[in-house]
Amino acid sequence: MSRRVLVTGGAGFIGSHLVAALLARGNSVTVFDNLSVGLREKVPAGAMLIVGDVTDSAAIDAATAGHDMVVHLAARVAIRSSFEFAVEDTHTNVVGTAAVMRAAQRSGSVRRVLAASSMAVYADSPTPTPIDERHPTAPISPYGISKLALEQLVHGMAAGAGMTSAVLRFFNTYGPGQLPSPYVGVVTIFTHAMARGVAPKIYGDGEQCRDFVHVDDVVQACLRALDADVSGETFNVGTGSATSVNRICEMVQAALGSTLQATPAPAAEGELRYSIADIAKAANLLGYAPQRVLHEALPAVVRAIAERAPRS
């Protein structure tokens, strides 16, 4: 059955991939995006684009009307910059989420809400061992704090209005189409630097480990969460495998045939030492199973990003 789905942040990296997948399933899709990071040209043909900000109550109310489901991806996404822009991040990620949820409540048609959270909600882990959803949520950055508030708003407001909800905690997502940023997407950051002949920076000793999950697997998790007969649940979305930042740098070097060596930089404030997802809950309740293996998928992603990288 065709569903009417509103995707906030649908002109962004993950959002545009998800919108394409929803359209391929025969859904009617509306994208709501302020285009501060997302691009108009990234919105797949067949989706309606409404340009607006989630903190604009009137605009998000109007956009939400008549939809069956809301996927809330719109956010300011950066851990390091969230210290400088704590007010702006909190306004978008917390106030914006409250506005989206209130719009869903008022619509009279929305029956399910799916929202994107982050690994940044967790306390640091002492070892590179996968952590499950019961790991302490004690975020060390304003961004992580805002995402933890998002989770509580989504589940609480959905339950109060008789809607079902699911929240996905994304780990380090990579894939084609990710735009360069000084703060987000180490694969894209390294690729853009090396493609321009610039040595990439590694913050700290580079042995901090992350769980790198392909955007196609993130989309798979979103689709499964929309379909699942579960509510009020939060899920890790990753692969369960740990990879160091140093190793990512080596893999990007190999994919590009680069001999540039990374330059060291002081460890960044607010970043976790180890963050690897235990995905058993998503596997059991959603049927989620990542298909992309990092060492197999990364070279093609790096080459695709490099082809579009500006040259200095």
Phi-psi region for residue 240, left (φ > 0), alpha (ψ -120 to 50) or beta?
A: left
Beta strands in 139-262 (DSSP E): 164-170, 172-174, 201-203, 209-210, 212-214, 233-237, 243-244
Q: Are the C-beta atoms of 190 and 138 separated by less than 8 Å?
A: no
Distance CA 1, CA 17 (A): 21
**Is residue 143 annotated as a catalytic residue, yes or no?**
yes
CATH superfamily placement of domain 174-210+241-275+291-308: UDP-galactose 4-epimerase, domain 1 (3.90.25.10)
* Domain extents in the chain: 4-173+214-237, 174-210+241-275+291-308
Which residue is catalytic, options 122, 143, 274, 288?
Answer: 143
Residues 6+ apart with CB under 8 A from 181: 78, 188, 189
pTM above 0.85, yes or no: yes
Pairing of strands 209-210, 243-244: antiparallel
* Residue 291 exposed, middle or buried by CB count within 10 Å (0-12, 13-18, 19+): exposed
Give, for all 312 residues of the chain, the pLDDT tens digit. Answer: 579 999 999 999 999 999 999 999 999 999 999 999 999 999 999 999 999 999 999 999 999 999 999 999 999 876 666 777 789 999 999 999 999 999 999 999 999 999 999 999 999 999 999 999 999 999 999 999 999 999 999 999 999 999 999 999 999 999 998 877 665 689 999 999 999 999 999 999 999 999 999 999 999 999 999 999 999 999 999 999 999 999 999 999 999 999 999 999 998 877 889 999 999 999 999 999 999 999 999 999 999 999 877 665
Instruction: State which fold the 4-173+214-237 domain adopts.
Output: Rossmann fold (3.40.50)
